[in-house]
Structure 1
């Protein structure tokens, strides 16, 4: 077994152990060369607050962020009314084989989960957010009226991330407040 693989495996296990809630592995859908499945689910959930995460299954910060955001939804009144989409992307050496165990950190059992092996949504959100690199480790919020009508995903009402790109850094307290605000407006 080569050293870098062993180090990556240990880091992933430590990241999973650090997450607050580990549940059973969830099913996920593999995206081909189009984000149509995510777009269809997103538009089907019009009328709901929507949370979309682009995260790597081999990134400790991503796993912790996905766990924290999911945990916030579980602890907010009406949090389960929000639609959740977790798009796993191939960053930090991630492959599809890493996704199944990573899905355990998402406590929101109703979340739609996807593997985007071509990083198509990372590229599209790079354009939407005006970033220099493909988007990942990013947590996006959408209000109830947003529709995905163009070839690119819609601009989020709010987002936070854990990268070196522009925009607010993930702060679970702030993200929770924004989710609560959108859920209150939905009522």
Structure 2
């Protein structure tokens, strides 16, 4: 009898573990969502990863991991694009910034909203990268430069990041108060996804797959 009970408990435990390991709606699990690279204020670690993925369509997203609006944006971009696109020629770089108090420990919960195998996560603890990026894209409100966060960008396959500031993206969307830049539209996940897919459709069918997967925590 004791042997039977022990076997039953073990079987139920294994079933529970198997059930917990499944992801809802059959969506793929994110690739090591808690794994990230420390990013200096000059963005050098991102620059290297960005240039290694040249030839692919690249998303660069700047968010605070505790910002509710940012998290909604991540969920929208995931639903409209990332969760349904397995193409390794689409590479996603996410810079988490401590704009409203976000911490490194908040990265994993935020990244768990994403379902894609080609994510590269960065943590800019110093918070200065947002200023560098804002300068590069001339992000302004009432004539004054504003910090770049809750910003969503797409780069084409030929974009290269030189030794200085990041290059200008092909598309920039945001979830900030009204900006001076008329070409920078408020984020619409479906419009964002459509633009990324249009770029992907123009890539050669057999272009070399760039390196993928989340960067390791340094």
Which has more radius of gyration? 2
Shift in Å, 1:21:
9.4
- Tell me the distance in 1 between the aligned counterparts of 2:189 and 2:41: 32
Counterpart for residue 85 of structure 1 = 93
Identify, as 1 or 2, the structure richer in helix.
1
SS at match of 2:202: helix
Q: Which runs of 4+ in 1 moved over 4 A?
A: 20-24
- RMSD, aligned CA: 2.1
Counterpart for residue 15 of structure 1 = none
Aligned equivalent of 2:106, options 98, 103, 106: 98
Distance 1:184 1:99, change over 3 A: same
Q: Does residue 127 in structure 1 map to residue 144 in structure 2? A: no
* Structure-1-length-normalised TM-score: 0.81
The answer for unaligned runs of 5 or more in structure 1 is 1-19
Which moves more between the two structures, 120-129 or 65-74? 65-74
Aligned length: 167
1:89-119 Cα offsets, whole Å, 9 max, x none, are 1122112222222221122232000101112
Counterpart for residue 68 of structure 2 = 60
SS at match of 1:105: coil
Equivalent residues of 1:22, 1:105 under 8 A apart: no
Counterpart for residue 147 of structure 1 = 160
* Structure-2-length-normalised TM-score: 0.70
Equivalent residues of 1:53, 1:138 under 8 A apart: yes
Aligned equivalent of 1:73, options 82, 87, 94: 82
Q: How does 1:157-172 map to 2 (within 5 A)?
A: 157-164=170-177, 165=179, 166=181, 167-172=184-189
- Tell me the distance in 1 between the aligned counterparts of 2:59 and 2:106: 22
Q: Does residue 173 in structure 1 map to residue 186 in structure 2? A: no
